[in-house]
Chain A
Amino acid sequence: MTTDNVLIKVDNLCKSFGDTEVLKGINAEIDKGDVMVVIGASGSGKSTFLRCLNLLEEPTSGSIYFEGVDITDFSIDINIHRQKMGMVFQQFNLFPHMTVLRNLTLGPMKLLKQTKEEAEANAMRLLDRVGLADRANAYPSQLSGGQKQRIAIVRALAMNPDVMLFDEPTSALDPEMVGEVLEVMKQLARDGMTMVVVTHEMGFAREVGTDIVFVDEGVIVEQGPPSEFFENPKSPRLREFLSKVL
């Protein structure tokens, strides 16, 4: 069904909200180690596409294969597969009633059955990696936006995912905090993490992306490696979009 290297395969994915067709047949393959960057105007369906990948939105039709398993099949336990797909949101969505450390250890302890010591040691190692080890006992409301998003990234990483999904991770940040979050994401890409990133950060796409996807009106209009994609856009719609954002 899939070759060894394909991590996610999206097959004719459609999604409607009521009468509004948001996705009209998306086909895509994400290989292990790929950094797929999804760009497009707001309302183009790029976020919906990303949210379908871990079934936060239930596709209306089509299939999504993750590690060879069709996760749109009702009979599978989606919770098992979601553990392997980390997700980072625009609004961070840290748990405000828990300390940073608890945010990181809850999933590993309850779902991966790690002991408290194991989970906390792992969490501290991750926090250290993003330079926030000293905030382990703080509550989310005591952190800046950039700090919250870095915590959200390592919270997802604490589950040891095979892929990381980013839904406009820097869009809600003050401009001076965008850099610190992108830096963490770049580091992650360098370490070989498979990533799907919905973003407006063209610099990031060009530098880190291995596969750039332009979504417009619910379909993939153009797709390619960053060099070709940005230097030599073929479709007029992409040219128009790039002329506005670059």
Chain B
Amino acid sequence: MAWETVIGLEIHAQLATRSKIFSGSSTAYGAAPNTQASLIDLGYPGVLPVLNREAVRMAVMFGLATGCTIAQVSVFARKNYFYPDLPKGYQISQYELPIVHGGSVQIDLPDGSRKTVRITRAHLEEDAGKSLHDAVDGMSGIDLNRAGTPLLEIVSEPDLRSPEEAAAYMRRIHQLVRYLGISDGNMQEGSFRCDANVSVRPRGETKLGTRAELKNLNSFRFIERAIRHEVDRQIELIEDGGRVVQETRLYDADADATRPMRSKEEANDYRYFPDPDLLPVHVDAALIDDARAALPELPDARRARFMESWGLSDYDAGVLTSARELADYFERVAGADGVAPKAAANWVMGELTAALNRDGLAIAASRVDAAALAGLLRRIEDGTISGKIAKDVFEGMWAGEGDADAIIEARGLRQISDTGALEAEIDAVLEANPSQVADYRSGKTKLIGFFVGQVMKRTGGKANPGEVNRILKSRLDRQG
């Protein structure tokens, strides 16, 4: 039987506020345990949560960027469950009236087409703390620094049909929250986490199959692998006459498999109700204007503009706008005086990206900044050095030897474009290779490459290749 996979994602993005969603504790990552957990975060009796305006503004920015409706009134609710890293016994979340709902994003599919993925809703909630299960013999250690960190939970409709589409959607949301500057998207630190609801159904069936919820899909690679395994497991189960049960499964990256997380009798019953500690949130026009004013140029618009103003291909524009920092860097290089935009694109996507990957650096930590790279490209453009020599100069810049001009000077790499000097080198080559000269003149014109190579050898690669070709041809043809 042919099966269809149906996937919906719930993405938790930690919002990049300075303080927590309901308290004045810092949200800085990596502090000593429990040093950023206040009475509110600890759930002491008698405390009251006060909502962080910035968290609301960031949620509204996301809503505006995805075409969501911004709720004029939204309500916080208590989601009740017991776990040691949730001191109050409930998580403050939103249930019936989320802050934004009903939007969409577009994803690029491998075949080059685009697909719209609907966003059901995005709501504000607080994060829980962390449990360290091997803290002390027989005991778990609880760190509540993360408790109360603002999260935006972004829920998609079950519009995704393959693990690849799920990963593409996850990347898209990741790109968007980073463009908006509302989350650092750091998956190692848990700032961007993803759960997937996965089910299968016979192709052609319109009713949804029973779904399993996969937790802990915290990398783009894992999400594809985990969903693929889960789909295989469900299909095998059904074809063997079994039935999928609705349950939460945890992806174990080491075992590369999913396993059930909670037993059935603990089936989730969160008993949501409006939190009496918090009044309904009224998003007024001023706040929406604030959020709208803070919206940067979004990835799709920037991509289109890169094609239009810099003359880039769709592919190049897509790569260069994949992250806001990369796009900013490119624009600083391409916009510099005396730099060809296409060369800027090639160098940023080529040499620069390779060097960053090799050293495991983010673009913000690049050893060659945009102005320095522009300085190098200017020297290619004005004929001081060839593109080939430029690669050596770039390596020198990367190693901290100085800017392009300093390295060109120090290493004596200035390209020889002076006609007199080049003619002398060329004449020496022609003189040393009389039989090749004769062969060339008898029709083996491909030998031009040999002569160019010889001149380059004599000049240490510094001869201007265009000039060498021109002079060689005129010499060889004139005396022929």
Q: Do A and B come from one complex?
A: no
Chain B positions within 8 Å of A, measured between CB atoms, are: none
